[in-house]
């Protein structure tokens, strides 16, 4: 039986020349975005991400842009798809995309920030390795196992409390995204996820 959730992943589709983005600039404490901290209030208007110089010929803009920060960066079109679904505990933070010549490639992109992480990781079955530096964080897992009874059933996209790397999405929402043909993303089954 398939899990009810899948992991969101960026995908550089062969032959599409999709860009890769580097660091997020002009945003203080940007690590909070990976921990599900609400940031909509006061989010800077000049937040920007630039195309990664290591991929100089990659200039096309996907609906979901791969980036070195492990953030979800989506097009206006994909944001509008989410707007129609009124997702619980999800913020959309505007970010500009700069090209390799430091010129504006687009002002119509958004960071998806799933807030209020769900405390539903099955710690024992997942084989967690806790951080030596940040005592409440998990560095690695052997497998991704959820205790779905501890999940808010109204939340369709979320990060996990203590293990913030993956963003999980309800399968029915993932199927709807796939059906619309959005570019630059794919889904990883929980059983195939590697930390």
Report the alpha-carbon distance of residue 15 to residue 10 in Å, rounded: 15
The three-class DSSP label of residue 94 is strand
Of 100, 95, 91, 114, nearest in space to 24 by CA: 95
Pairing of strands 129-130, 157-159: unpaired
Report the alpha-carbon distance of residue 81 to residue 168 in Å, rounded: 17
Each of the 195 residues of the chain gets a pLDDT tens digit; together they read 578 999 999 999 888 999 999 999 999 999 999 999 999 999 999 999 999 999 999 999 999 999 999 999 999 999 999 999 999 999 999 999 999 999 999 999 999 999 999 999 999 999 999 999 998 999 999 999 999 899 999 999 999 999 999 999 999 999 999 999 999 999 999 999 987
The token pair that represents 179 in the structure block: 């059906």
Q: Is the dihedral of CA 47, 85, 33, 23 positive or negative?
A: negative
Please provide residue 131's backbone torsions phi and psi, each rounded to the nearest 5 degrees: -70, 140
**pTM confidence score:** 0.94
The three-class DSSP label of residue 159 is strand
């Amino acid at each position: 039986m398939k899990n009810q959730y899948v992991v969101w992943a960026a995908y550089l589709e062969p032959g599409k020349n999709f860009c890769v983005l580097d660091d997020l600039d002009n945003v203080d404490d940007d690590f909070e975005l990976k921990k599900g901290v609400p940031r909509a209030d006061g989010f800077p208007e000049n937040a920007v991400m630039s195309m990664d110089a290591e991929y100089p010929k990659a200039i096309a803009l996907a609906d979901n842009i791969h980036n070195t920060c492990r953030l979800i960066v989506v097009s206006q079109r994909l944001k509008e798809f989410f707007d129609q679904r009124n997702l619980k505990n999800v913020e959309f933070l505007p970010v500009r995309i700069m090209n390799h010549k430091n010129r504006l490639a687009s002002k119509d992109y958004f960071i998806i920030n799933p807030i209020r992480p769900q405390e539903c990781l099955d710690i024992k079955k997942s084989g967690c390795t806790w951080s030596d530096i940040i005592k409440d964080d998990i560095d690695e897992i052997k497998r991704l196992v959820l205790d779905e009874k501890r999940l808010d059933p109204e939340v369709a996209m979320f990060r996990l409390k203590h293990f913030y790397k993956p963003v999980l999405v309800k399968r029915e929402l993932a199927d709807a995204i796939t059906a619309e043909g959005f570019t630059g993303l794919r889904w990883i089954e929980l059983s195939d996820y590697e930390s």
